[in-house]
Amino acid sequence: METPGSQSSLHRANLERVVRAVRLAGSLTQAEIARTTGLSAATVSNIVRELKDGGTVEVTPTSAGGRRARSVSLSGDAGIVIGVDFGHTHLRVAVGNLAHQVLAEESEPLDVDASAAQGFDRAEQLVSRLIAVTGVDRAKIAGIGLGVPGPIDVESGTLGSTSILPGWTGTKPAEELKDRLGVPVHVDNDANLGALGELVWGSGRGVKDLAYIKVASGVGAGLVISGRIYRGPGGTAGEIGHITLDESGPVCRCGNRGCLETFTAARYVLPLLQSSHGTELTMERVVSLAREGDPGCRRVIADVGRHIGSGVANLCNLLNPSRVVLGGDLAEAGELVLGPIRESVGRYAIPSAARQLSVLPGALGGRAEVLGALALALSEMGDSTLLDGSLPTTAPAFT
């Protein structure tokens, strides 16, 4: 037994701090590790050497600011994480290692709303197939991150809403998947995972305060505050789609009137174009027509941008984020939507709250959520198990 405060327990705590910093960032130079952990350069140097000798980390030469440096990452074969993302119409799975490398990724169409049981069956099959394709050792799976397109009750892990995923009401997605795959599963909603994905791999790299806004069948935001996802006590934080913009506006599915969603989500926006452009339109098609110069589609996209910008201005006043990342199909519209967003932010936000803000399109497109699921699995796995060489399986994996 180690006594708290003893030399050896302090050393152990330092080892865990370094491993955690590298695990969350993917790779860091020794100077960055020192900055992140608050440890001295000499201590970091000694710890990195010890971890390298033990096979926990790999060290590769790199350059930082024109100077030679050493980049530290977890060993690729130290463990495996898996991301599973359920959209309304697709299932996507990615297999990655602890060095933040994606080893395999695949997406298939799936009517996710229809049946939760069928969704979990297909996820189990796709995970098993990708494990086979990559040839990784199943015993090395450290955890699974799982994304669902609906609100998760933080305490019970239950999918809450009856209107968003009717076939899933009352299910506990993380437990369902854990029972099937025998490894720890961590669940979150798609907007939070999109935020994590962009933060670790995409347009949010290097910032600590970020909002990821996804406009799809609904409008949601994933909020990162001081480097961590902010969920709120009930897991409902980020419901930006239900900010009231117009008290006498259209009735929203939440029962209020004039929510941001009623001016921006596909189900409300597409009907505006149906008499001029036909009834087969999708948001993807509207975006591509707008890019080709179609004046009606351009007008609609610009209006959507202005309304999102009002919501973003509210966010700026409350949270003062340094970056807003727009995800979903709408991000493909580029400046056609980003320009009007910035214009509204300039008009409605307190100048000091928006001064440092940059509004960028997501860099990961439809992969943001599954990569966020990988990031969730990486952030939730413990370091003590990694340092002791045994991964936290809850049962024999994939019997």
Binding residues for Zn ion, per CB under 5 A? 242, 252, 254, 256, 259
The residues near 200 (Cβ < 8 Å, ≥ 6 apart) are: 24, 26, 100, 371, 372, 375, 378
Bridge partners, 64 (sequence order): 67
- Name which of 215 and 373 has its Cβ closer to Zn ion: 215
Q: Give the three-state DSSP class for 161.
A: coil
CA count, 13 A, side-chain hemisphere, 74: 28
Residue 61 CB, nearest approach to Zn ion (Å): 53
Distances 104 to 132, 370, 387 between C-alpha atoms, Å: 10, 12, 26
**126 or 259, CB closer to Zn ion?**
259
User: 80-86 and 67-74 as β-strands: parallel, antiparallel, unpaired?
Assistant: unpaired
Minimum Å distance from CB 220 to Zn ion? Answer: 12
CB of 270 to Zn ion, least distance (A): 18
User: Distance between CA 310 and CA 332 in Å, rounded?
Assistant: 20
As a whole number of angstroms, the distance between CA 115 and CA 120 comes to 9
Q: Which of 75/256 has CB closer to Zn ion? A: 256
Which 3 state secondary structure label does DSSP give 240?
A: helix
- In whole angstroms, give the CA distance from residue 112 to residue 120: 9
Q: Are 307 and 263 in contact (CB under 8 A)?
A: yes
User: Closest approach of Cβ 240 to Zn ion, in Å?
Assistant: 10
Taking the complex as a whole, the smallest distance from the CB of residue 151 to Zn ion amounts, in Å, to 13
Output 48 or 191, the one with its CB closest to Zn ion.
Answer: 191
Cβ 164 to Zn ion shortest distance, Å: 12
Instruction: Give the residue with the Cβ less far from Zn ion, 166 or 295.
Output: 166
* 76 vs 258, beta carbon nearer Zn ion: 258
Q: Which is nearer to Zn ion, 64 or 254 (CB)?
A: 254
Find the shortest distance in angstroms from Cβ 289 to Zn ion. 28
* Nearest-approach distance from CB 254 to Zn ion, in angstroms: 3
Q: Which is nearer to Zn ion, 252 or 375 (CB)?
A: 252
Can you say whether the dihedral through the CA atoms of 94, 98, 100, 102 is positive or negative?
A: negative
User: Can you list the alpha helix ranges (DSSP code H) found in 212-358?
Assistant: 261-264, 266-269, 271-277, 283-292, 295-319, 335-348, 351-354
User: Exposed, middle or buried: residue 68 (CB in 10 Å: 0-12, 13-18, 19+)?
Assistant: exposed
